[in-house]
């Protein structure tokens, strides 16, 4: 970075350079030219009154002039671009309920124009944050300090000074010195690349204080305001130490790839909260103004509310340390058919080490233990600097994947706990771990009487007879059978593992993949059978399938409904028999699921769209995400039609669902889509489509690329993908979690397709399909919105160097995300390329557009979260 060289340094350098060169001086000169002439004394500058009430700060909060803590909620006004007209924006801007306006000033803004705007802001009862904005190369996104120092002398401490020191403005005033000035492309908290930036601001802070200003000075982050790392590594404190008033606010601007996911917002907020200097988001983008680099402004607003959490700050002593805390319910709960969820925040240093584990566990009323299994700090199970949502479904104790004490009673659970284990992690790796949003829900689809899903193992099933090779792989049983030499065969499980209630008619279902080669095997079929009785003498079966009802080369859901099994007393064996094939077959039969449901329909919920839509109810909330924004969408006859205005042969277009109300585990689910492509797209053949999923942290995975040349002409082409644990995505970003999906979209890649090929693309469905959950009942919920929630979690056990005494202060009640202030960009006046960032349709009236309505009226918007500022005790 190029910085101003101070006058004193030049004098010293000159003296050293000429030392011993006395013969160069003119003996007859009246003046020694190395000694500068005495300058005229500097004229006293005006100063604000020393006893004025001002806005103040501490390590994490801003206090208005009345002494009340306040979260800034406001709007940027591009006043300096057109002072004569934008002054009329202040009154409607105040009608939004904002408590602050960030007032853009330009190099040609006069003192009179500044005073006029400040008078309007004061009359409206708002905080004023004047900010100097000039184009790149002067101030914004600029590294050199030439203009910064020039404007400091000529404007802030020159032309504008007499206005800014006026007593009536002091309780309202925060001075934002320079918009987005500082080094570019550092983005590394450990770098020395910020040193010149910090030194320059330290000098500027001192100059403002020497004049007598006590109001907060607001310091924008470098790299166009986005690089919050500049304030980390002790640099925020370095700025604060340079301020005799200790009254600074750090400001970051939420644009670009450093801010475009929930985890990135949390990472920035978490780091800034630890600087010991309060911070705000002085600008944010969103509204798809920057294509794929756009941030989610609604998510920034939601995060700014802040959130309390249970905070663990463990005094790690060694690599075998283990600790657990638990919460005891008011009375034991029946957790059969329930879901347990919790959010866990793990700092990045644990992820980099990769050894720490966490696990949720239950204890029944008898003290017996059952664990859900360990989650590893590997940026997949547990994510870095992000909230990971742990989600477990329990239909029976066999669903507990960790250690389970014999006799554990799932219907009599007394407490829920969480354990952390160093697992080889060195004691030097130490940072706060957080727990939040613990919930237990029950209900939804009635759990099936019996379910074997074969997702992780064979679930106890094996070959019963027929010398078949039965293995588990890719979420299914693989049945490799030699029909020529062994005839019919069966797979089965011991009856003691099934526990059927045969007092009611039962429905038995199996999902079976039958290879295409079986299509000539007219005698082929399958049936369920049950062997029972103390001496194994009883036998009953469902009867076989009809060959005509089987589909070859695809999955079949084979169901035998309302089967009377009342004769079965002691069930010894439950299985599926395959019969009737007479030829050799190299491809195995696959069994994906075996389900038994009762008369109540347990496990037989209808298949619904868990994420995405079939557009039967319109396309509310759907929209473009990145790439081409000029996309026209309409819905008719339960079909979405997209007309894309292609600007060239390379730029992509996207369309994506709104964020789902819940989080979906896509593993074991099916992604379905239907597309009807215009003939000219198919004739050209270049374009491809790719369906993609986004998890709760915004991380994407793209499924297989499909060329439109292969699509059906004049009709819908139906696409489906069965997502498995080891699904081979076309592309998945690091950290993608298929168990935490809340959005689905489609990307269209022209791949050289001429821009004039642009007919309407029809979409019949784009969704993740699964069983409808029905109504869920929340039987336990803890969001840590009061300190008593944290107190209710108590020490349970420890190992290694930990014990209850060592851990006495390890558990605390604190912030999951520290609340912070924000100012949206901007009221009115953006250029054509960023017009989407305007909040108002008109300059001088309260006429909010879609973005303005979201920022002002939404759940976490201005009106819901802003409180008026006070200006005197």
Residues 219-234 pLDDT 10s? 999 999 999 999 999 9
pLDDT of residue 392: 87
Q: Round to whole Å and give the CA distance between 477 and 499.
A: 21
Name every residue whose Cβ is closer than 8 Å to that of residue 236 and which is 6 or more positions away in sequence: 250, 272, 275, 276, 277
User: HSE-up of 496 (CA within 13 Å, CB side)?
Assistant: 1
pLDDT > 70? residue 630: yes
24-29 mean pLDDT: 33
424-447 mean pLDDT: 87
Model confidence over 246-276: pLDDT tens digits?
A: 999 999 999 988 898 777 888 899 899 989 9
pLDDT > 80? residue 37: no
DSSP code at position 664: B
pLDDT > 60? residue 25: no
pLDDT of residue 5: 35
pLDDT tier for residue 21 given thresholds of 50, 70 and 90: very low
pLDDT of residue 310: 97
Model confidence over 193-211: pLDDT tens digits?
A: 999 999 999 999 999 999 9
pLDDT > 80? residue 623: yes
pLDDT of residue 128: 98
CB-based burial label for 144 (10 Å; 0-12, 13-18, 19+): middle
Model confidence over 323-355: pLDDT tens digits?
A: 999 999 999 999 988 889 998 999 989 999 999
49-61 mean pLDDT: 96
pTM: 0.58
Across the chain, mean pLDDT equals: 89
pLDDT of residue 119: 98
pLDDT > 50? residue 432: yes
Backbone phi and psi for residue 206, each to the nearest 5 degrees, phi listed first: -65, -35
Q: Round to whole Å and give the CA distance between 147 and 142.
A: 10
pLDDT of residue 451: 85
| For helices 297-304 and 262-273, angle between their N-to-C axes, nearest 10 degrees | 40
777-787 mean pLDDT: 92
Q: What percent of the chain has pLDDT over 70?
A: 92
**The two structure tokens encoding residue 193:** 């690349």
pLDDT tier for residue 531 given thresholds of 50, 70 and 90: very high
279-299 mean pLDDT: 85
With CA atoms as reference, report the closest residue to 179 among 68, 76, 258: 76
Name every residue whose Cβ is closer than 8 Å to that of residue 19 and which is 6 or more positions away in sequence: none
pLDDT > 70? residue 7: no
Model confidence over 68-123: pLDDT tens digits?
A: 999 999 999 999 999 999 999 999 999 999 999 999 999 999 999 999 999 999 99
Q: Cβ(379)–Cβ(346) under 8 Å?
A: no
pLDDT of residue 404: 95
Cα-only R_g, the chain: 34
pLDDT of residue 4: 37
pLDDT tier for residue 605 given thresholds of 50, 70 and 90: very low
pLDDT of residue 43: 54
Q: Round to whole Å and give the CA distance between 347 and 40.
A: 57
pLDDT > 90? residue 869: yes
Max mean pLDDT among 67-81, 612-626, 704-718 falls in: 67-81
Residue entry with tokens 């780091």: 271
Q: Cβ(307)–Cβ(317) under 8 Å?
A: no
């Amino acid at each position: 970075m190029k910085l101003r060289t101070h006058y004193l340094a030049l004098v010293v350098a000159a003296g050293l350079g000429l030392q011993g060169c006395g013969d160069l001086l003119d003996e007859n000169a009246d003046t020694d030219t190395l000694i500068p002439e005495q300058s005229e004394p500097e004229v006293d500058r005006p100063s604000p009154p020393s006893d004025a009430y001002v806005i103040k700060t501490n390590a994490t909060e801003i206090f208005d002039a009345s002494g009340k803590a306040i979260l800034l909620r406001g709007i940027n006004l591009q006043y300096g671009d057109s002072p004569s007209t934008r002054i009329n924006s202040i009154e409607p801007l105040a009608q939004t309920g904002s408590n602050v306006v960030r007032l853009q000033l330009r190099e040609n803004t006069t003192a009179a124009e500044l005073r006029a705007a400040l008078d309007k802001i004061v009359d409206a009862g708002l905080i004023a944050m004047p900010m100097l904005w000039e184009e790149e190369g002067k101030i914004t996104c600029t590294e050199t300090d030439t203009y910064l120092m020039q404007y400091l002398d000529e404007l802030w401490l020159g032309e504008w000074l007499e206005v800014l020191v006026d007593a009536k403005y002091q309780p309202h005033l925060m001075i934002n010195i320079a918009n987005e000035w500082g080094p570019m492309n550092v983005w590394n908290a450990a770098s020395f690349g910020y040193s010149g930036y910090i030194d320059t601001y330290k000098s500027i802070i001192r100059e403002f204080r020497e004049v007598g200003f006590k109001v907060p000075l607001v310091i924008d982050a470098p790299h166009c305001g986005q690089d919050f790392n500049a304030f980390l590594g002790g640099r925020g404190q370095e700025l604060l130490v340079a301020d005799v008033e200790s009254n600074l606010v750090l400001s970051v601007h939420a644009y670009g790839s450093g801010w475009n996911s929930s985890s990135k917002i949390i990472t920035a907020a978490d780091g800034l909260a630890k600087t010991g200097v309060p911070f705000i988001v002085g600008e944010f983008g969103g509204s798809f103004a920057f294509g794929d680099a756009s941030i989610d402004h609604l998510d920034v607003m939601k995060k700014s509310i802040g959130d309390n959490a249970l905070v663990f700050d463990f005094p790690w002593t060694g690599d075998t340390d283990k600790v657990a805390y638990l919460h005891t319910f008011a009375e034991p709960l029946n957790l059969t058919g329930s879901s347990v969820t919790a959010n866990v925040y793990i700092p990045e240093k644990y992820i980099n080490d990769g050894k720490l584990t966490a696990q949720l566990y239950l204890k029944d009323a008898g003290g017996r233990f059952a664990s859900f299994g360990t989650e590893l700090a590997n940026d997949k199970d547990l994510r870095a600097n992000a909230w990971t949502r742990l989600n477990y479904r329990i239909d029976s104790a066999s669903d507990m994947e960790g250690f389970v004490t014999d006799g554990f009673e799932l219907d009599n659970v007394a407490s829920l706990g969480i354990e952390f284990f160093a697992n080889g992690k060195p004691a030097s790796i130490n940072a706060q771990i957080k727990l939040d949003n613990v919930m237990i829900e029950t209900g939804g689809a009635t759990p099936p009487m019996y379910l074997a899903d074969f997702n992780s193992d064979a679930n106890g099933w094996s070959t019963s007879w027929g010398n078949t090779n039965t293995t588990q792989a890719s979420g299914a049983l693989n049945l490799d059978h030699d029909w020529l030499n062994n005839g019919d065969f069966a797979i089965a499980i011991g009856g003691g593992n099934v526990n059927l209630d045969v007092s009611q008619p039962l429905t038995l279902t199996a999902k079976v993949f039958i290879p295409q080669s079986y299509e000539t095997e007219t005698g082929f079929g399958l049936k369920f059978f049950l062997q029972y009785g103390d001496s194994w003498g009883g036998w009953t079966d469902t009867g076989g399938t009809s060959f005509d009802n089987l589909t070859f080369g695809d999955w079949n859901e084979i169901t035998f409904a309302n089967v009377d099994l009342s004769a079965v007393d002691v069930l010894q064996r439950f299985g599926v028999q395959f019969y009737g094939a007479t030829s050799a077959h190299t491809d195995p039969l696959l069994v994906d699921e075996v389900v038994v449901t009762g008369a109540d329909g347990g496990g037989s919920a209808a298949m619904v769209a868990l994420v995405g839509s079939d557009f039967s109810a319109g396309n509310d909330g759907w929209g473009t995400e990145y790439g081409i924004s000029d996309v026209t969408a309409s819905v008719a006859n339960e079909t979405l039609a997209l007309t894309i205005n292609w600007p060239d042969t390379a730029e992509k277009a996207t369309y994506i669902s709104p964020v789902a109300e819940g989080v979906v585990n896509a593993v074991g689910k099916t992604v379905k889509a239907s597309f009807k492509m215009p003939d000219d797209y198919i004739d050209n053949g270049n374009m491809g489509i790719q369906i993609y999923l986004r998890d709760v942290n915004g991380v994407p995975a793209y499924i297989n690329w499909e060329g439109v040349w292969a699509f059906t002409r004049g009709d819908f082409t139906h696409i489906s993908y069965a997502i498995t644990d080891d699904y081979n995505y076309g592309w998945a970003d690091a950290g993608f979690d298929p168990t935490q999906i809340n959005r689905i979209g489609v990307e269209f890649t022209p791949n050289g397709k001429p821009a004039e090929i642009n007919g309407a693309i029809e979409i019949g469905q784009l969704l993740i399909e699964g069983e409808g959950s029905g109504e869920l009942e929340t039987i336990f919920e803890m969001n840590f919105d009061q300190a008593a929630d944290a107190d209710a979690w108590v020490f349970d056990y420890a190992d290694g160097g930990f014990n209850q005494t060592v851990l006495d202060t390890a558990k605390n009640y604190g912030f999951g995300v520290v609340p912070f202030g924000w100012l949206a960009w901007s009221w009115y006046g953006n250029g054509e390329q960023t017009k989407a960032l305007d909040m108002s349709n008109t300059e001088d009236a309260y006429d909010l557009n879609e973005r303005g309505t979201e920022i002002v009226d939404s759940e976490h918007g201005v009106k819901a979260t802003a409180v008026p500022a006070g200006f005197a005790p």
